[in-house]
Amino acid sequence: MESVSYIDLSGVYALKEAVTVLQDRNIKLLVTGLQAQPKDMLTEVRMIPYIIPEDALCRDFQSAIKTLSASPAPYHYPQKNEILI
């Protein structure tokens, strides 16, 4: 999400719906490159940490891969049904 510098409530709702669909399908999610305003907004509406846990937030794609490789549970290398954003 490093290209997302601003998110409003409609974006929050769209993201919440997408995350919920992924979670309902047991697809693990890591969020990479979250900028300050979107992070503040997601925290304010309590998506972080209740829907997107803090440990699912990664600085960049490489740190997400390190997170996956360092933590076998609950994270592991992405499979066909998993996604990194």
pLDDT band at 44 (very low <50, low <70, confident <90, very high): very high
Q: pTM to 2 decimals?
A: 0.76
Amino acid in position 7: I
**Strand positions, DSSP E, the chain:** 29-32, 57-58, 83-84
Task: Give residue 77's pLDDT.
Answer: 47
| pLDDT for residue 29 is more than 70 | yes
Place of tokens 């990194």: 84
Burial code of 47-67, b = ≥16 C-beta within 10 A, e = fewer? bbeebbeeebbbeeeeebbeb
Domain ranges of the chain: 9-84
